[in-house]
Structures are given as C-alpha cells and as structure tokens.
Homo-oligomer: A and B are copies of this chain.
Amino acid sequence: MAIFSKTCEYAIRAVFYIAHKSASGDRAGLKDIAAGIDSPELYLAKILQDLSRKGLIRSVKGPNGGFYVDADSLARPLSDIVEAVDGQGLFHGCALGLKQCSEINPCPLHDQFKSIRGQISDLLHRTTIGGFNEELIGGLLSLKK
C-alpha cells in the first residue's frame, strides 16, 4: 500500500498542474492536464468533477473553457485535497484497526503512530497548493509519472 490512493495522487498532481497554469492566468483543459500529469483522461475527468463540486477547483465550459484555481484555493493546504479524496483515514483511527484503541485505552503503538500521523498532518497542512509553482516554473519538478 502506498500512502495515498491512486485517485488521490492524480488529484494532487492535477491540482498542482492547474495551479501552475492559473498562476500565468491560463485555464487548463482536461486533455492538457491528463497529458501533463500522465493520467487516464476520462478517469481524471471524474476526479476533477468531484474536486470542482467540492469547491477545490473551478471550471468553465465551452470553447477556451477548462479548469483553474482562484487565489483563495492557491492558499489552501494540500490536506484539503487529501481529505476530499482519501478521507480522514491517514490522520485518524487506530493504525492496527482496533476499535477500542483510544487516548484512554491506547494500543501499544498508539502514541508512536500518533506522532507520525501528526507529522503527516502538519506537513500536508502547512504545504499550500500554490506553494509548488516556483519549482514548477523553474522546471525542477515534473508532474509526469
């Protein structure tokens, strides 16, 4: 198992790609994004529809339409995408799947996993969607698989 689902990986890469285009005032079309992040186009369409419904990205139909993110969304943390797609599983719940594990009755790995999950949460919360743009512009980062 990877850390994120495949759907979530696509979502993150796509939003980065869209944010990058948005920074120069452009919108990104589905074909463009799918090619840019190396993902199946029609599956990505579903993911973007979902993110759009949830208000994480915006879309415009018709000629010269496409996806973009506004300034507010650029400032949003990466965790918003992860939660929208993969839910809270990475941050909460006993790692061993024990229902009775809690702060009051912790499993033997509870505190250690708590610390690690806290770090993942911190990382995803302090990293913003727009924060990758410099690196994308500098060409240091490719979003292709």
Contact = CB atoms under 8 A, between A and B. Distances in A.
A93 interface: yes
Contacts of A119: 115-116, 119
Interface string A96-136: 11111000010111001101110110010001000110010
A89 B141 contact: no
Stoichiometry (number of copies): 2
Interface of A: 1-6, 8-10, 12-13, 86-87, 89-90, 93, 95-100, 105, 107-109, 112-113, 115-117, 119-120, 123, 127, 131-132, 135, 140-145
A74 to B, nearest CB: 15
Given A2-B89, A3-B95, A109-B123, 5 more contacts: A1-B86, A12-B96, A98-B143, A100-B142, A108-B141
Contact of A1 (B12, B13, B89, B131): B89
A93 B3 CA distance: 10
Nearest to A85: B1
A138 to B, nearest CB: 11
A35 to B, nearest CB: 15
Contacts of A115: 119
A135 B108 contact: yes
Contact of A95 (B4, B89, B99, B108): B4
